[in-house]
Amino acid sequence: MFVRLSAAIAAAALLSGSALAQGAKPTDPQIAHIAYTAGVIDVTAAKQALKKSRNKDVKAFATDMVRDHEAVNKQALALVKKLKVTPEDNDTSRSLSKNAAAKLTELSKLKGAAFDKAYVDNEVAYHKAVDSALETLLIPSASNAELKSLLQTGLKIFQGHEQHAEHVASELK
Amino acid sequence: MKPGGYFSIVAASISALGITVPAHAAAIQISMQNLVFAPAEVTAKIGDTIEWVNKDVFAHTATAKNGEWDVMLPPKKTVTLVLKKAGAIDYYCRFHPNMKARLTITP
C-alpha cells in the first residue's frame, strides 16, 4: 500500500512539477500534444509488458492498453488534422516523456512477479495522474468543443483503465 | 424409470418449447457510445433479444456480474443475445469497469 501510494505521489508530481502548475493555461495545440504523448507513453509501457510478462492477466491488460490508446490517438490525429492544429511540444509533454523513459529503464531491470507488480502499480498511478490532469487542467483549458469532447472520452477511457489496473493489481497479491 | 421421472421430462420439454418459441419476442437495442450504456436500465422478458450496438472505436464487453454471460463487442459492431433466464443482472465492461448497466429479465 505504501509503495503504491508513493508511486501515485511521484506520478502526480511528475505532472504538476511542470510549467502547467505555474498557472500557465495550456493552449489547444499544447493540450493535443500532451494528450497524445500520454497515450504513446502508455502504449510503449504496454509493449514492454507484453515482451517481459508471463502473467495472463497482465498481458491481457497490456493488450487492452495498446488497443485503446492507439484508437484514441488515431482519433486525436484525425481531429488535429481536421482542425488544422499542429500539436505543439511543451514542458509538460517533455517531462512526461522524460519520466516515462526513466520508468521504462527501471522496469527493464525487473523480472517475473516483481516486474508484473511494478508495471501494474505504475499503471494505476499513471492513469490516476493523467485523469487528474485531464479533469482539473486539460479539459477546462481546451477551447475547441471537439477537442474538449475527445478529452472527455479520453478521461472515461483512462478512468476505466485505472479501475481495470486496480483490479489486476488486486489479483496479483 | 419411475412415473414421476417421465412426467418431469415431458413438463421440461413443454416449458422448453414455450421458451424457444415465445409469442411476442422483442428486440431491444442498447447502445454503447462514449463509454456509456444507454439505456443503462432495461427490463425485458425471457425470449427477448438484446442487441448491443457498439458505436465506439473501442472494444467493449457486456459481462454479467453473476457470470451468466460475457458478450464481446468489437468496435462499431452489433452483437445479440437471446435472454434465457429470469433475474436482475448487473453487468459491466471488463475493459472499462466504469461502464455499468442493469438488465431485469422477467419470465
Asked if the structure places residue A16 within a domain, the reply is no
Q: Is the pLDDT of residue A1 over 90?
A: no
The contact set of A with B (CB < 8 A) is 64, 67-68, 71, 74-75, 152-153, 156-157, 159-161, 163-164, 167
Cell of B77: 459492431
- Report the distance separating Cα A90 and Cα A77, nearest Å: 18
Asked if the structure places residue B100 within a domain, the reply is yes
Interval B45-103: pLDDT, tens: 999 999 999 999 999 999 999 999 999 999 999 999 999 999 999 999 999 999 999 99
Q: What's chain B's Rg over C-alpha atoms?
A: 17
- Report the distance separating Cα A91 and Cα A95, nearest Å: 6
Q: Is the pLDDT of residue A41 over 50?
A: yes
Asked if the structure places residue A93 within a domain, the reply is yes
Asked if the structure places residue A11 within a domain, the reply is no
Between the two ends of chain B, the Cα-to-Cα distance in Å is 31
Interface test with B, best of A65, A159, A171 (most B CBs within 10 A): A159
Please answer whether residues A121 and A169 qualify as being in contact, where contact means their C-beta atoms are separated by less than 8 angstroms.
yes
Interval A142-173: pLDDT, tens: 999 999 999 999 999 999 999 999 999 999 97
Question: Pick from A139, A25, A142: which is nearest to A83 by CA?
Answer: A142
Strands, E assignment, B1-106: 27-33, 36-38, 41-45, 49-54, 60-64, 70-73, 78-82, 87-92, 100-106
Please, which residues bridge with residue B102 across strands?
A: B41, B90
| B75 contacts A157? CB cut-off 8 A | no
Q: Comparing A60-64, B4-8, B36-40, which segment has the lowest mean pLDDT?
A: B4-8
Give the number of other CB atoms < 10 A from CB of residue B20. 11
Which CATH number characterizes residue B41's domain?
Answer: 2.60.40.420
Please, which residues bridge with residue B42 across strands?
A: B103
Domain that holds residue A104: 26-172
Please answer whether residues A27 and A64 qualify as being in contact, where contact means their C-beta atoms are separated by less than 8 angstroms.
no
| B58 contacts A157? CB cut-off 8 A | yes
Strands, E assignment, B6-58: 27-33, 36-38, 41-45, 49-54
Measure CA A52 to chain center.
20
Give the nearest partner residue to A75 out of B57, B94, B96, using CB atoms.
Answer: B57
Asked if the structure places residue A15 within a domain, the reply is no
What was the pLDDT predicted at B82? 96
- Report the distance separating Cα A82 and Cα A143, nearest Å: 15
Asked if the structure places residue B80 within a domain, the reply is yes
Interval A55-90: pLDDT, tens: 999 999 999 999 999 999 999 999 999 999 999 999
Please answer whether residues B66 and B89 qualify as being in contact, where contact means their C-beta atoms are separated by less than 8 angstroms.
yes
| B96 contacts A157? CB cut-off 8 A | yes
- SS3 assignment, position A97: helix
What was the pLDDT predicted at B23? 57
Interval A87-144: pLDDT, tens: 999 999 999 999 999 999 999 999 999 999 999 999 999 999 999 999 999 999 999 9
Q: Is the pLDDT of residue B14 over 70?
A: no
What would the mean pLDDT of B32-56 be, rounded to a whole number? 96
Question: Residue B10 — very low, low, confident or very high, per pLDDT cuts 50/70/90?
Answer: very low
What was the pLDDT predicted at A148? 96
What was the pLDDT predicted at A15? 55
Number of domains in chain B: 1
Asked if the structure places residue A88 within a domain, the reply is yes
> Which helix (H) or strand (E) element contains residue A116?
helix A112-133
What was the pLDDT predicted at A9? 47
Give the nearest partner residue to A160 out of B57, B75, B98, using CB atoms.
Answer: B98
Which CATH number characterizes residue A120's domain?
Answer: 1.20.1260.10
What was the pLDDT predicted at B25? 85
Domain that holds residue B87: 24-106
- Report the distance separating Cα B59 and Cα B26, nearest Å: 26
Asked if the structure places residue A156 within a domain, the reply is yes
Asked if the structure places residue A12 within a domain, the reply is no
Q: Is the pLDDT of residue B5 over 70?
A: no
Interface test with A, best of B37, B56, B58 (most A CBs within 10 A): B58
What was the pLDDT predicted at A24? 74
Question: Pick from A95, A162, A103: which is nearest to A128 by CA?
Answer: A162
Number of domains in chain A: 1
Q: Which residues contact A44 (CB under 8 A, 6 or more apart)?
A: A100, A104
User: What is the ipTM, given to two decimal places?
Assistant: 0.80
